[in-house]
Structure 1
Amino acid sequence: MTRSIQQDRSIEKSEAKTANFNQESIFKIDELFFSRTDNRGVIEAFNSVFSRISEHADDALRGAPHKVIRHSDMPKAVFWLIWDTLKAGKPITGYVKNRAKSGRYYWVYAVIAPVDGGFLSVRMKPTSPMLATVAELYKKILRLEREDGLSPEKSAAVLLQEIRSMGFDDYMDFQAHALVTEFQARENALGRTPFNALTNAIRVAEAERMICDKIASITDELAQGAIYILNMKLQAVKLGRDRAAIDAISNNYDLILGDIKSGITRLKSIMSDASTSNFSSRKESQILLCASSIMAEVVQNFDQGDEPMTTEERERESVYLRNLHAAFSNKSTASVSAMMDECRQVLGRMDSLRQTLLGLSAVRVSLRVETNRLGERARGLDSLISEIDQSHQRVRNDLEQMFETASHFSSAITAS
């Protein structure tokens, strides 16, 4: 009889969990929660928001593996990426679907980082349209894992491939976009003023990408300059004794074009770190700025809250939280400072290019005046001048767009 009752209770619990499977364990957008584990992923500390949402008693959570809240809808690929990144000593962020004790689910956007002796994860409620996109992506990856028997590592490779097909360079690019999107959605929902440091970092990153694209375009266009100079010299040869002026103009054109090429090369050198790394340092700065702001809020909530901890536990966890906040804050400050230094260099180079471009325009005017003076004898130069005019206009348009974009740098510097 006792055995039958136990079986009935077990069946009732199982049915209750099944009924709850599609129900959400609700928490508010202003709530943040954290948990800290050792190097093996065993939970050592957490706040009351975490225990409430997970529906586990404090004693049951402490000492339990963090996978106690893992949801079956989560692909192994995500956890492989998380552990691979953490073991390399780097923080990582991402969407995670968790499972409460009752079987209910709850989505979080997690910021996870190595700390002394383990790892610390801070979670917020995701509310942007990105969540629906990621949920569908996870379903696809999970299906492939089950149908094709993919290992976690191979599944992670498929996940990264899918992320690239969505238009992201890599996971760094994806998580920067996702975290900024969720962070800003949360700030807007809470009625907070825009986070200027993050706004400026985004503007600088966008401006740098555009400038790098324009540098490539101008470089290709300037390569035609050697052909124009050769053609000018060939036309000068045909002029015989009247060649001196055209020779002089072609030489001046060559010198000024060389100055522009040198200026573009120096500008390219300034931008090289950004472009060759797919702007990963800019994306990392955005992640760090968001993480620093989130951690500051976690620290404040912890200090003002009434967590069920002993004085010793509170002091210990406060140190972990403050240290992680300091790490994010210091790294983000250093990253933004480096961006501002680069901005100043770019602005200086832009001014120099503007002046050099005026000199090139003067040479073009001289060429046109001399061509008109020579009349019929310089007939072959007309079409060349037209080609040069069109080429210079393309360069001018690209440079003007770069000059305009540089104003974003100036604004960011002023705001900082």
Structure 2
Amino acid sequence: MTKMGQPALRGTNEVPFALEELFYSRTDTRGVIQSGNEIFRRTAGFEWSEMIGAPHKIVRHPDTPRAVFRVLWDALKKGYPMGAYVKNKAKGGGWYWVFAVVMPIEGGYLSVRLKPTSELSDEIHQLYRDLSARERAESLDPEESATLLRDFAERGGYSSYTAFMAYALALELTERDRRLNRNADENTRMLAELNTAMGRLTKEQFGLLRSFEALQSVPNNMRIVASRLEPSGGPVSAISENYKASSAVISERLRKFVAGRGNLCGQMAFQVARAVFQLGCARVLNEMSTNFMGEEAQNDRPREEERALLQSLVTKGTADANAAMRQAAELADDMMNQSRDIRRQLLGLDTIRVLGRVECGRMRDANGGLAATIDQLDSFHDDIKGRLEAILALSEEIEHWLGRYLRAGRSAA
């Protein structure tokens, strides 16, 4: 420490703080700081008289894209907690990275931050550099930039930005445990596995929908071929019409299954992400509450009141997460049943496809491209069957992790 309130800086101007240290702050509804802990004050480089009553944005670094705060506030205004990687600035000109969990409370907001150390944090640094540069160069408004941030999460296979932050929090907690030589937290590992499986499931389901939509063009090709090979109403024409009608029914069911407002996949992904993130938050808040025991109050609100607030949030967050887990388990069971039904419907399409192959053989060399069209059907069917099997396996894996967590919770109670 150089002089009172000013932390020593490393050569890169990064302000050091220990891995085991957690930042705490509480603001009113306008984002004005009402309370904080000594680690936050020390790292930011301010005196308490400068921090209390000041807007939280006094530590906002311009390298953090505005998109991050737009996504954060969108969640908070809906009453949901949210996570974010944030690069902050210190009074002395330095900077420091945190992973923040932020949640709405009565009369304002509360945030606990930890030091990010996972490989993902390095990827985020590059993403933020690129996104901040685009915001400046293209004069993007916060919502346009937030869309790019959400797109980044979706390209990574996450159903939502909440799911991405749930994965990030679990990753950061796991790496933090490892570096601090703590025993691996079984719940954190379990939740990370669950969230990862949910991401793979989402990818498979959207891949399945795309395959079915691409399949819709094949019966049209078959009908065009049939018009050159046989009179109107011939067997190949009838096969193509039957196939088109049957595949359209399945395709519409799939859209309700994985796309559109309120789809089953989206509901389940939301509940899983919500539960995973809430439980990760509860762990961080609980540790912050313990850390407060050795710190004196810095304003007129005793630390015991801050600890009581944190503990109430831990209790509520755990209860909300368990409720989300139970709902997700019901959705997982429904998803498996619907996947099996779709697989049975696909057998009907297989029968029509085989009839097409028979007609192709009967026409021999005069098939006029029918063989190539049937080959397309074979390829699509193989892809669809493979995705359905993957979806069933992943649904079972997700149900397993959900059931395991809920059973562990009942045993602990």
Paired residues of 1:43 and 1:62 also in contact (CA < 8 A): yes
- Contact 1:172–1:280, Cα closer than 8 Å, also in 2: no
Distance 1:313 1:277, change over 3 A: farther
Query: Per-residue displacement from partner, 1:219-271 (whole Å, max 9, x unpaired)?
Result: 33144325536866985659xxxx9xx75x97577557644442332232122
Q: How does 1:3-402 map to 2 (within 5 A)?
A: 22-56=12-46, 61-71=51-61, 79=69, 82-83=72-73, 86-87=76-77, 89-132=79-122, 134-135=124-125, 154-157=140-143, 159-160=145-146, 163=149, 173=160, 176-177=163-164, 180-181=167-168, 183-191=170-178, 192=184, 193=186, 195-225=189-219, 228=222, 237=231, 247=235, 255=242, 258-273=245-260, 282=269, 285-286=272-273, 289-303=276-290, 305-309=293-297, 313-365=302-354, 378=363, 382-383=367-368, 386-402=371-387
More helix by share: 1
Percent of paired sites with the same residue: 23
Measured after TM superposition, the shift of residue 42 of structure 1 is: 2.5
CA distance, structure 1, for counterparts of residue 395 and residue 238 of structure 2: 35
Q: CA deviation at 1:125?
A: 0.8
Check 1:198–1:222 CA distance in 2 against 1; reply closer, same or farther (3 A cut): same
Cα RMSD, aligned residues only: 4.6
Deviation of residue 22 (structure 1)?
4.3
1:408 Cα deviation (Å)?
A: 0.9
Question: C-alpha deviations, 1:287-338, integer Å up to 9, x for none?
Answer: 6523431333322441463332499834532343234334544554454445
- What amino acid is aligned across from residue 249 of structure 2 in structure 1? S
- 8 Å CA contact 1:256, 1:356 repeated in 2: no
Q: Secondary structure at the match of 1:215?
A: helix
Q: Structure 1 pair 342/277, CA: closer, same or farther in 2 (3 Å)?
A: closer
Q: Which amino acid aligns with 1:221?
A: L
Structure 1, unpaired ranges of 5+: 1-11
Q: 1:346 to 1:316 in 2, by over 3 A?
A: same
Secondary structure of residue in 1 paired with 2:259: helix
CA 1:389–1:303 in structure 2 vs 1: closer, same or farther (change >3 Å)? same
Secondary structure of residue in 2 paired with 1:190: helix
Other structure's SS at 2:294 match: coil
Does the 8 Å CA contact 1:17/1:103 hold for their aligned counterparts? no
Residues 349, 57 of structure 1: alpha-carbon distance in 2 compared, 3 angstrom cutoff: same
Which whole-Å deviations, capped at 9, do the CAs of 1:94-145 have from their partners, x for residues lacking one? Answer: 2323344554432112122221001111111112345455545656676788
Distance 1:342 1:317 in 2: 37
> For residues 77 and 235 of structure 1, what CA distance do their matches in structure 2 show?
58
Residues 21 and 105 of structure 1 are in contact (CA less than 8 Å); yes or no, is this contact kept in structure 2?
A: no
Three-state SS of the structure 1 residue aligned to 2:249 is: helix
Distance 1:277 1:356 in 2: 18
Runs of 4 or more off by more than 6 Å in structure 1?
16-21, 140-148, 169-172, 274-278
Q: Offset at 1:283?
A: 6.4
Structure 2: tracts of 5 or more residues without a match? 179-183, 403-413
Answering whether residue 398 of structure 2 is matched by residue 412 of structure 1, we say yes
What's the TM-score, normalizing by structure 2? 0.72
What is the TM-score with the length of structure 1 in the denominator?
0.72
Flag the 1:399–1:265 CA change in 2: closer, same or farther, 3 A: same
Moved more, 25-34 or 65-74: 65-74
Q: Indicate how the Cα distance of structure 1 residues 78 and 26 shifts in structure 2: closer, same or farther if over 3 A, else same.
A: same
* 1:165 Cα deviation after fit: 8.1
Task: For residue 200 of structure 1, report the CA deviation from its aligned partner.
Answer: 1.7
> How far apart are the structure 2 equivalents of 1:370 and 1:161?
50
CA distance in 2, matches of 1:93, 1:146: 24
Cα 1:21–1:281 change in 2 (3 A) is farther
Question: Could you tell me how far apart the structure 1 residues matched to 2:79 and 2:256 are?
Answer: 30
Mapped contact 1:94–1:111 kept (Cα < 8 A): yes
Between structure 1 and structure 2, the one with the greater Rg is 1
